[in-house]
Amino acid sequence: MSNTPSTINILISNDDGIFALGVRTLANTLVDAGFEVTVVCPDRERSAAGHGLTIHTPIRAQMVSSIFDPRVRAWSCSGTPADCVKFALSAVVSSRPDFVLAGINHGGNLGTDVLYSGTVSAAMEGLIDGIPSIALSLNSFNALNFQPAADCAVKLIEYLLQYPLGKSTLLNVNIPVAEVLKGFKITRQGLRRYIENFQERKDPRGKTYYWLAGEVVEEITQDFDELSGIDLPTDVEAIRENYVTITPLHYNLTDISITKELQGINSANF
């Protein structure tokens, strides 16, 4: 392998903000492992921002210090997670990163969560630019020990350096909170639905406002992926068994399986 860890450049972003413990643990662990690390994160919490971009207001950014290991170059950005990666690739990094990482998110990004996740969207922005990308999420909103997840990130990067993928992809990685992790498991995207609940409340001036809350409803299907012909467990299913789930994702959302059924519309008269 021509590259050594000291020459591998990694760009990190997140959606929990520049002060989040998850991104600090990830960045410091990677720099300790010998990688060159640049961090560009939102200046505040931007969870569930999806792939939104800031186009009607200016983006402000500044370097930050004293948060990370001194070897880490870090910036805060007023934009969304996707903005952060775009800004970093265009205006911060001097050379193209070898990997774009997002996280470590406080809370899992399983199943259809990926459609709303700012963490996954930050990594997706790296993939759109042709850079191998990894979204990392700790499957708990209460746990504060991000070190096992950061250690998984190091192992995964070392594996990808030794066995590069044939094409750039996004690996959505979710790490369970468990005393013993059973290992990595390749999974497919499961289904995670929510029972939406908009709670009506009153502000101090008596005006009505609504707060989105809800309950997660997880559905696990046992049928295999018809497109690949491979029987893979879902991410929701595998993480329950204390596996670190790895789900390859792409920005192409075309539903190939239904295109044959739609062919008749090509000859429809309008």
Look up residue 115 and give its two tokens: 């459609």
In a domain, 39, yes or no: yes
In a domain, 216, yes or no: no
CATH of the domain at 111: 3.40.1210.10
In a domain, 269, yes or no: no
Nearest Cα residue to 138 out of 10, 49, 16: 16
Where residue 264 falls (left for φ over 0; alpha for ψ -120 to 50; beta otherwise) is alpha
**pTM as predicted:** 0.89
In a domain, 94, yes or no: yes
In a domain, 158, yes or no: yes
The answer to whether 75 and 61 are in contact (CB under 8 A) is yes
The answer to whether 246 and 186 are in contact (CB under 8 A) is yes
How many domains, the chain? 1
Domain that includes residue 178, residue range: 5-187+229-255
Sign of CA dihedral 257, 259, 264, 269: positive
In a domain, 177, yes or no: yes
Distance set, CA 177 to CA 139, 149, 210 (Å):
6, 9, 32
Look up residue 98 and give its two tokens: 């070898």
In a domain, 84, yes or no: yes
In a domain, 205, yes or no: no
Per-residue pLDDT of the chain (270 residues; tens, 9 = 90+): 445 555 899 999 999 999 999 999 999 999 999 999 999 999 998 988 889 888 899 999 999 988 999 999 999 999 999 999 999 999 999 999 999 999 999 999 999 899 999 999 999 999 999 999 999 999 999 999 999 999 999 999 999 999 999 888 999 999 999 989 999 999 999 887 777 778 888 999 999 988 877 666 666 555 555 555 567 899 999 999 999 999 999 999 888 888 888 888 887 766
